[in-house]
Chains A and B, each alone.
Chain A
Amino acid sequence: MNASLLLLADSRLPAGGHAHSGGAERAVATGAVRDEHDLAAFLHGRLTTTGRVAASLAAASCALATTLLPDATPAGGPASGGGEAGWTALDAEADARTASPAQRAAARTQGRLLLRVARRIWPSPVLDGLALAVPSPHHPVALGAVAAVAGCPPRDAALAAAYHSVTGPATAAVRLLGLDPVAVHRLLATLSDTLDAIAGTAAASPHPDPTPPEGSPSEAPDVWAALPAHAAPALDLLAEQHVRATTRLFVS
């Protein structure tokens, strides 16, 4: 594991994550989550659906970014970072796996903020290239690219994405329900094995060939069609209810 992963996964990374509850606020408002027991089910469900998808997208994005890093290309890499077709295609895969427009908007907002912050922390033509191709990328796409630039392999990117999918809602539930923060952290700890397994599988997901044959484009976007596409309709509905609510504390 690369130490940069700790910075990336830290909830104190100033990239706007604190204002998102991943559906937890609406789940609390509707009574679906009232206590630790409900929260455990909520987090497990979220991790094994949207969390798994986010992990795979982050791993794919990290793999793509790695092929674009200056020392990965013989000529020292294109000045702009390149990869436009790849970024656009991968972001479209993320869109296709995010049914709720509200969730798409939340994922893009978080991706844009992460990318902006990361470009100051880890400046790189690869991140410039992503920002040019997709100014507001889905969060896992941004996360994967940032992880690569920070020196992390796809498995780390996947782990950070999966972890991110549960820590936001867990913290939000502590604030909204006044749950014991230690009990909630114990709950997160029980998810460790699942997190590891998800990251391992995601890192084994299909990636574009980093050394494509002469004359072919440097990305092979069609392999991404096979990325996992687990759906969580209840989370989609919560997200849509949330944007329509007249009072709310969290953006999503």
Chain B
Amino acid sequence: MGTDHADHHHAPDGHGRALRLGIGGPVGSGKTALVAALCRTLGPSMRLGVVTNDIYTTEDADFLRRAGVLDPARIVAVETGCCPHTAIRDDIAANIDAVETLEERFGPLDLVIVESGGDNLTATFSRGLADKQIFVLDVSGGDKVPRKGGPGVTSADLLVVNKTDLAPMVGADLTVMSRDAAAVRDGKPVLFTSIREDRGAHTVADWVTGMVHDWRHVHATPETPHATLHP
């Protein structure tokens, strides 16, 4: 990837580039399902790119390409060498390279989504890679998870608790999860979703749209005029 690059030595201040949204959370919580849902809902009104960080295969990238939610060329897979959290936090070079490759090939873009390979509760995105981050939990991990906290749960810009359709089956109390999350998150938003039931994850998509609007307001440059967003 990228051997045909022109020289691109971007100032890291974000002017004139897309909002970079990190989506993290444990394996299986629904990160890829959320990426697909966001592409479905936001694709018609935004110029998108997606970077996946599969651990052992290109499963997530392949799934998204097959799902037909986005031009397959706009989905790039990064390999993370046994350490999914390193690739999003300590050594983000390969992910930055993938994001910039997408912006160069298809830019200007409005939003680039980076899905982490899936990790434990301590994994968060470096600010050098993601401008905003969503942490995805699911109810089947048990209703105690928000209380256990960890940087993902406490500091993500948005906490998504997914698979609410399974709550009755696993005996998870959503009120408890909601109360505990609010207690550790200091007022930052929490959304409960069932991507199985709402394949467009509309509440999350609305939040993302707001973030993209804010980003443009602050970071647009005259050379990259605002595209019209239709939320």
A186 within 8 A of B: no
- Tell whether, in the assembled complex, residue B5 and residue A112 are in contact, meaning their CB atoms are under 8 Å apart: yes
* Partner among B7, B79, B81 whose Cβ is within 8 Å of the Cβ of A131: B7
Q: Is the C-beta of B9 less than 8 angstroms from some C-beta in chain A? A: yes
Query: How close is A193's CB to chain B, nearest CB, in angstroms?
Result: 29
- Say whether A230 faces chain B, with CB atoms less than 8 Å apart: no
Q: Is A108 engaged at the interface, CB distance under 8 Å to the other chain?
A: yes
Among residues 38 to 97 in chain B, which have CB atoms less than 8 Å away from a CB atom of chain A?
Answer: 55-57, 78-83, 86-87, 90-94, 96-97
Question: In the complex the two chains form, is A112's CB within 8 Å of B91's CB?
Answer: no
A221: Cβ under 8 A from any B Cβ: no
Partner of A14, one of B12, B79, B82, B90: B90
Q: Does A113 make an interface contact (CB < 8 A)?
A: yes
**Which one, A17-25, A48-56, A152-160, A208-216, is touching chain B?**
A17-25
Instruction: Name B's interface SS.
Output: loop
Band of interface residues on B: 20 to 34
Count of chain A to chain B residue pairs whose CB atoms are closer than 8 Å in the complex:
84
Alpha-carbon distance A252/B55, docked complex (angstroms): 14
Given contacts A17-B91, A249-B82, contact A119 B97 (CB under 8 A): no
Residue numbers in A under 8 Å from B7 (CB-CB): 128, 131-132, 135
CA distance A119 to B8 in the complex (A): 11
Could you give 22 example pairs across A and B, Cβ below 8 Å?
Answer: A13-B91, A14-B91, A18-B81, A18-B83, A19-B80, A19-B94, A108-B3, A109-B1, A112-B5, A112-B97, A113-B97, A117-B93, A135-B4, A135-B7, A136-B2, A175-B83, A248-B79, A249-B56, A249-B80, A249-B82, A250-B81, A250-B82
Q: A19-B78, A113-B94, A175-B82 are in contact. List 7 more A-B contacts (CB 8 A).
A: A12-B91, A14-B92, A113-B93, A128-B7, A135-B3, A247-B57, A250-B81
